[in-house]
Chain A
Amino acid sequence: MSSTAVLEVSGLSKVYGDAIALNGASLELQRGEIHAIVGENGAGKSTLVKVLSGMVIPDAGTVSREGVELVFGHPGNSRKAGISTSFQELSLLSNLTVAENLLISELPRQFGVVRRSVVEKKAAAILAEWGVVDIAPDTLVAQLPLSAKQRLEIVRALNARPDILILDEPTAALPDTEWLFHHVRSLRDTGTAVLYISHKLREIAELCDRGTVMRNGAIVGSFEGSDFNHDELISTMIGRSINLAFPPRVSPIPADAPIVLVGEELTVGRRLTDVSLSIRGGEILGVAGLEGQGQRELFYALAGELRLSSGTVTIAGEPADLRSPRTAMRSGPGIALVPEERKREALFPDLPTSVNITVPALSEITRGGIVRHGAEEKLAAEAGAGAHLPDAYLPRIVGQLSGGNQQKAVLARTSLTGAQVLLMFDPTRGIDPSAKLEVYGTLRKAAEAGAAILLYSTEIPELVGLSDRVVVLYGGQIAADLTGDQIQEDAIMSAAVGHARNPGTPNSGVAS
């Protein structure tokens, strides 16, 4: 424990069901330093931020502010301890103005009334002080572009002039980073300690004094800000998953395997721009990208859940009907989505697992309007077996299952849709290693059986181990298109963080 340490994090642990978010994370923050936190998605960065900001109560560990322990679980306590956070998922109120958002907890009033002009003047002063000139204080936050909202969120944190400033992916939507760096540096110079969470290594090199690498919820390394080797750092971030053997491809994709799905110049709002790709039967097309690079828009638009702003999608040669996931599933050979947020988008949490599984095949097990119990059990067991889900779990309420078993249930259900195109969005998120292996097996089997799989994963080794081709998304466009030997972890990661080293053809992942 050094004498200039302003924040001491010790042994923080947090588990969500079977997913380990934090695993004994410890670090020290010095006064007057800009300290980077890097790591892949799921490394624990967000959870760390949430614990420090008072949003999440850890299972174990302490956080001390110059010897005084921080009381967890309430934003007010963190604020009192001098911690101020700019969140990745913005904490702004869309139906209020910029000024109101900035001053929400300390709205100035005269005779009980918060006068617009007063608030706006104060807000304008704050904005001016921090060099933000293009946001009018009287604008409704809902009408601001994302970059403006981001700056607003940051200004709010900066303006608290905290002792400890936490910035969680502050430049995700920020075109002009100099502005941010300038102010972060000046705060640092007055003694503020800054925790800078980002995946943009170039920025970190430019801005940060020191850095810490997180992986699987723990601290696995540290580095000096200006002097680190990008490749080494990326390796540390990725790490090596122990004993994860990816089921090998049994037979190569036949040269004449038909192209099942073609997406041309797919655009969704501003998050996905002119992305084209195609997938053949039996092929696994991997998609890589850090959070928010357009992968969600891509997958959900293909699934019929989000509307395409422009672009065309054909399946088995015919235009795909993407009005809804239901029509997508019935469009030709069918498109099915394994969604991102298991709990919110895939599961029916209060219902038994077997019920969760048989959803797409209800017609088969219904006779006379009644769902035949025996037929349902049988079908669920069959599908479950295909996904390595033990029978014992079928009658249980699915919300009580471990993440791994839940995902197997989702995969079992997907197999019952009969869809040939499978859109798998981070299917191994939050599940234990042995379950992951089984999921890989299920994926591989599906591909062998002729499915055309689009696979997004935040774990690059998975993409390397499973994919036949990989496209990397960055900023809503394809930054790299890798095949065969080109599929390497560092190549993928580099492209994902914006160093497009592989001069693959941008904007098209179309197979030749």
Chain B
Amino acid sequence: MKGGFGDSVRNVFTNGASRAFIVLIFMLLVWAKFQPNGLKVSQLDSYLTLALPLAAAAMGVTVVLISGEFDLSAAGVIALVNVLLATTFTATNPLVAAVAVIVIAALIGLVNGLFVVFGKLPAIAVTLATFIILGGLAQVLLPQPGGQVPQGIVDAVMTKMFIPRALLILIVLGIGWLWFKRTRLGIHMFGLGEDEAALHLSGVNVRRTRLWVFAIGGALYGLAGVFFSALTGSGDANSTKTYLLATFAAVAIGGVSFAGGSGSGLGSIFGALVLLAIPKVLFVLKVSDWMQMVVQGIVIIAAVLVGALAVRRAQNQAFLSLGREAEVDSVEIASEGKA
């Protein structure tokens, strides 16, 4: 089924990660062009550093979405991790501290998973509740902003090098994704979101896979929390609220399907970068502050719209040329009707 140029162009559009990448490049170019006195490396550096927590959190949400579930707890985990680093682990060896909080975050993800798999509760409800609980715990530990994140962690992220450290970290994250999706667990994760029943019939332990996915998501939120703490240097239980929805925005721009079975961690990284580039671009284009939010919203809608249309076209093609697939719903082209 390999086609010609037309097909390749279409493939780019069906692939969320490439779409997000193209948009990102475009935005960076606009930014660079209109930035007075040119775009300095230091500006790029701070922009990329700012994107680190969002990128990591978006990756966490991505794996859960690909596996066919939902997770609203990211922002809560980040807050708790931040507070832990600033208080409980403030005097600990930075490496140990970082590992410890990531492990804790993974365990939290595991708890979410247990409620979903064994408690048979809808993931939205569970993770909403854990989000509230974690936010509360963070506030209990640190009612007022303060504390001190271990310097080693701050340094690890913020030290200036000839190329932005954040860029390196993002590249490592990207490579990490490419590696993960080639592991057994990664492949099973895709299968889980596509057709849980078929996966079960194929002999894969569906429950275990799902639990692992939630745990990994949690670990990634933990990592995001570490990045966030490096950025701020101190603890603030209330400052992560925006992450709740920003992660989903990044994920949507990155083309991850909310129905499960497809998506890319790379796309989410690009999505995070696009999201954070919007204010920059608008600023240099002398667009007022408040327009930023409007444009962000429009970009998100445009991104998912293009994605939905591209997928629909692809499904139509498949149906016409290959004969009916097993799923009837996807082929009910004549009418809409899904919420």
**C-alpha gap A322/B318 in the complex (Å):** 22
A104:B202 contact, CB within 8 angstroms? yes
A270:B199 contact, CB within 8 angstroms? no
Q: Chain B contacts of A325 at CB under 8 A?
A: 335
On chain B, the number of residues with a Cβ less than 8 Å from chain A's Cβ atoms is 35
Q: Chain A contacts of B1 at CB under 8 A?
A: 139, 143
Query: Among the listed B261, B320, B325, B335, which residue makes an inter-chain contact with A324, where contact means beta carbons less than 8 Å apart?
Result: B335
**C-alpha gap A297/B320 in the complex (Å):** 13
Q: Chain B contacts of A143 at CB under 8 A?
A: 1, 318, 322
Question: Could you tell me which residues of chain B, from 196 to 245, have a CB within 8 Å of some CB in chain A?
Answer: 197-204
**C-alpha gap A91/B191 in the complex (Å):** 11
Q: Hey, what's the 0/1 contact readout for A88-116 against B, CB within 8 Å counting as 1? A: 01111111100011001101010011111
**C-alpha gap A134/B184 in the complex (Å):** 26
Shortest CB-to-CB span from A427 to chain B, Å, is 19
**C-alpha gap A89/B324 in the complex (Å):** 12
**C-alpha gap A315/B192 in the complex (Å):** 45
B191:A95 contact, CB within 8 angstroms? yes
Does B319 count as interface, using CB distance less than 8 angstroms? yes
A306:B202 contact, CB within 8 angstroms? no
Shortest CB-to-CB span from A493 to chain B, Å, is 25
Query: Among the listed A75, A304, A306, which residue makes an inter-chain contact with B200, where contact means beta carbons less than 8 Å apart?
Result: A75
Shortest CB-to-CB span from A95 to chain B, Å, is 5
Q: Hey, what's the 0/1 contact readout for B307-339 against A, CB within 8 Å counting as 1? A: 000000000001110111110000111110000
Does A220 count as interface, using CB distance less than 8 angstroms? no
A297:B182 contact, CB within 8 angstroms? no
Query: Among the listed A75, A114, A146, which residue makes an inter-chain contact with B201, where contact means beta carbons less than 8 Å apart?
Result: A75
Query: Among the listed A89, A114, A297, A305, which residue makes an inter-chain contact with B334, where contact means beta carbons less than 8 Å apart?
Result: A305
A79:B203 contact, CB within 8 angstroms? yes
**C-alpha gap A197/B206 in the complex (Å):** 28
Query: A306: nearest residue on chain B (CB-CB)?
Result: B334
Q: Chain B contacts of A139 at CB under 8 A?
A: 1
Does A188 count as interface, using CB distance less than 8 angstroms? no
A270:B194 contact, CB within 8 angstroms? no
Query: Among the listed A90, A105, A114, A324, which residue makes an inter-chain contact with B203, where contact means beta carbons less than 8 Å apart?
Result: A105
**C-alpha gap A218/B318 in the complex (Å):** 40
**C-alpha gap A94/B322 in the complex (Å):** 13
Q: Chain B contacts of A385 at CB under 8 A?
A: none
**C-alpha gap A115/B199 in the complex (Å):** 20
B334:A323 contact, CB within 8 angstroms? yes
**C-alpha gap A53/B203 in the complex (Å):** 11
B198:A92 contact, CB within 8 angstroms? yes
A104:B183 contact, CB within 8 angstroms? no
Query: A97: nearest residue on chain B (CB-CB)?
Result: B187
Q: Chain B contacts of A270 at CB under 8 A?
A: 322-324
Closest 6 CB pairs of A and B: A270-B323, A105-B203, A324-B335, A91-B198, A91-B201, A93-B191
Q: List 6 A-B contacts (CB under 8 A).
A: A95-B262, A104-B202, A105-B203, A146-B322, A306-B331, A306-B334
Residues of chain A at the chain B interface (Cβ within 8 Å): 53, 55, 75-76, 79, 87, 89-96, 100-101, 104-105, 107, 109, 112-116, 139, 142-146, 156, 269-271, 297, 304-307, 309, 322-325
